[in-house]
Structure 1
Amino acid sequence: MLVAQDRNGQVISEVADTGRIKSTEIDRVMGQFIDHNALLCSDNATN
């Protein structure tokens, strides 16, 4: 599950894939909403 929230409180959420998420899935789900210069933070999951 990918979830993002902007500073105005708008939320994007979508199931990306099962298993470990790849950068291509992040781009497919959120690429049109997030500027290429934005900072992406994750939970650093290792599973």
Structure 2
Amino acid sequence: MKERISATVDKEIVKTINSLIENKKYRNKSHVIEIAIENLAREENDKNKK
């Protein structure tokens, strides 16, 4: 189940997110942020295993 959250980010981050969406790699802002956080969590998990 999805839950709505709110975040404040720099304008450059918003530009990057919009660019990723325009390139049709991601469906929407939520999709971009969700994938980014999943990747960050995976990287952190991999670091902690070493």
Measured against the shorter chain, the TM-score band is: under 0.3
Greater share of helix residues, 1 or 2? 2
Question: Which structure would you say has the larger RCO, counting Cα contacts within 8 Å and 6 or more residues apart?
Answer: 1
The alignment's TM-score, normalised by the length of structure 1, stands at 0.26
Bigger strand fraction: 1
TM-score by length of 2: 0.25
Which protein has the larger Cα radius of gyration, Structure 1 or Structure 2? Answer: 2
